[in-house]
Structure formats: C-alpha cells, structure tokens
Amino acid sequence: MSTTTPTVANVDPFAQQRGLLNQMRSLRATGRVVLQFKPDSVGEASIPAIPLEDGDTFRVPSKPIIVSVVGAVYGQNVFLYDSKYHVRDYLQLAGKPNRIADKKNAFIIRADGSVYSNYQSGGLWSEHLESVSVYPGDTVIMPEKPIKPSGMRDLIDWAQIFSSFGVAVAAIQVLN
C-alpha cells in the first residue's frame, strides 16, 4: 500500500480579491438621474448641463397622461391626468384613504424620480399634501400604518417571561 503525500498547490492569496476587483470594474451603473425638470419645461434650454461619458444615453420619454394612486386606498388605480386636480382629488377618485392609511407619511413620486413628502408640504400645525398639485406621470403613495401590538400582547409576553423564570427557579430548587 503506497501512501502519497498531498501536494499543496502554489495558491495566490490575493487572486480572489483581484478577480472581484476586475468584476466590479466591468459593472456599469444602471438607473436614472433625477434632473428636476419643471412640469412646464420645454426645449433644449431647460436641460441642465451635465457631463456625459462614453456609453451614457440621454432619453426623454413621451409625456405621460396618467397619475397613479397606490397603497392604503380603497381602489388603487391609474387615472387620466387633469391639470385642475390636486392630491385630494386623485385620492377621492381612488375611494379615499382606508382605515389603515398612514396619511401623515403619504408622499408623491414625481415623474422625474424625485420624491415630494408630506413633510415638505406641511406647515407648523397641519399637513397640506392633499392640496399639492399633481403632474403627469406622478404616483401618489398612501402607506399603511405600522401594526402596533396591543397591550394584551405585551401582558402575555411578560407573563411568559415570568413563567419561564419561575420554572427555572423551581428546577434549581429541585436540583439542590
């Protein structure tokens, strides 16, 4: 019976890191850049001066004619844009916020990718998001309130902790 000694290959400890670095260098960023156009922007003069690199593309989509309302409303839907409508009007069309709606944290995702929240529209004493103008392609988001455990649930949790503690004390007494 012959025994062979295992040979250790000459392994480069940094080969894996170099491979990862090469892989990261080959990645290209995807997504969009928010340019913050005004809804009434027209022509090339309204395009901000941004440097483009090789492989970059600048695409101007067609003007949308819809507004979306999603989240905690009775009828999530897409509606035709009407320049006279505000957030409250689109929420009305969607059946209004339901009972689990978190109206305080509602927000709009603008067609350009920027976000307009209730905190940007509110005054000192009230929120005014419902009176904000909506533009073509915007999405009104009505989030749900986080679920808070009831007081009974807290009582049950504490009872289980004390029960476990009591069982442990009884086990220690039996062992002694």
Residue 136 belongs to domain with CATH number: 3.10.560.10
Q: Answer whether residue 167 shows pLDDT above 80.
A: yes
C-alpha torsion angle, residues 45, 49, 50, 52 (rounded to 10): 70
**Residue 21 maps to a domain:** no
pLDDT level of residue 28 (50, 70, 90 thresholds): low
Residue 120 resides in a domain: yes
Is 89 part of any domain? yes
For residue range 112-135, what is the model confidence (pLDDT) as tens digits? 888 888 777 655 545 578 888 999
Counted domains in the chain:
1
Residue type, 143: P
Question: Does residue 126 belong to any structural domain of this protein?
Answer: yes
Identify the residue with better confidence: 159 or 71: 71
Domain with 99, as residue range(s), is: 60-145
Mean pLDDT computed over 40-58: 78
Q: Which ranges in the chain belong to alpha helices (H)? A: 15-26, 87-93, 118-121, 151-175
Q: Looking at the domain assignment, is residue 38 inside a domain?
A: no
Average pLDDT, the chain: 81
